[in-house]
Structure formats: C-alpha cells, structure tokens
Amino acid sequence: MTVERLSLRGFEKIIRGRTNNEAPCIVKFYSMGCPYCVALKQPFEEIADSHNELFFFAFNTADHPQLDNTINVNGVPSICMVKPGIFRPQVLVMDDPKEPDDETWYTKEQIEQFINENYKGEET
C-alpha cells in the first residue's frame, strides 16, 4: 500500500472517526527540515508495502503547527496508529525509542513491533 500525504482536514476526519475506513491508519508525522524524517521516508514506505490491510499516511507538521492542540505528538518524527472504534477511534502514539537510530530515529523493526503489538491482524 502506498503512503498518502494527509491534510489537516483528513487527519481530523480520521481521529474523529468520520471515515469509511474499518482498518487502522498508521500516520507518520514529519517535517522536511528534519533529517530523521527525510531518512525515515523509505523505510516507512517499505513497511506500508508489506501491510496491505492497513492505511498509511504522512502528515507534514510544518504545514500545520496547530496539530499540538489535536494530538499529543512531542516532535518529529512521530508515529501513531488510529484504530476505528464504536464510539470514537483509539489513537496510540509510538513511544520514543530507548536507543534512537542515528539516521532515522525509529528503526523499521521498531515500527513493525509497534504495529504488531497494537494491531492483531483482524481482517477488514
């Protein structure tokens, strides 16, 4: 699956449960001025390619600094999973790594582990 760029309006729809998606969404928060974010682009796309059952998005926080009022993202890069819910979606923000990667901050394996721990692989 490809990684789609997400607008603020699109992100707000996802976290408010106003989409037709029944599968979780994985969102990478980034800024083009962040070297970790730029380096993380390819590994994140590779993860998206291996998970056709999930939706993957990239959200440029530099375009939308008001995001801090919407979700608890401490900086970039950050990754969250938004799981659909009956009343409202569940938003899970990935913890900062105990040992950040010198190039990408999060490793591909750390992101995969976050996805596997929070998504049981239910079919959509």
Q: What is the pTM of this model?
A: 0.91
Give the confidence band of 86 by pLDDT, cuts at 50, 70, 90: confident
pLDDT in tens, 42-67: 999 999 999 999 999 999 998 887 76
Q: Which of 94, 54, 101 is nearest to 74 (CA)?
A: 94
Give the confidence band of 124 by pLDDT, cuts at 50, 70, 90: very low
Q: Which of 24, 36, 18 is nearest to 82 (CA)?
A: 24
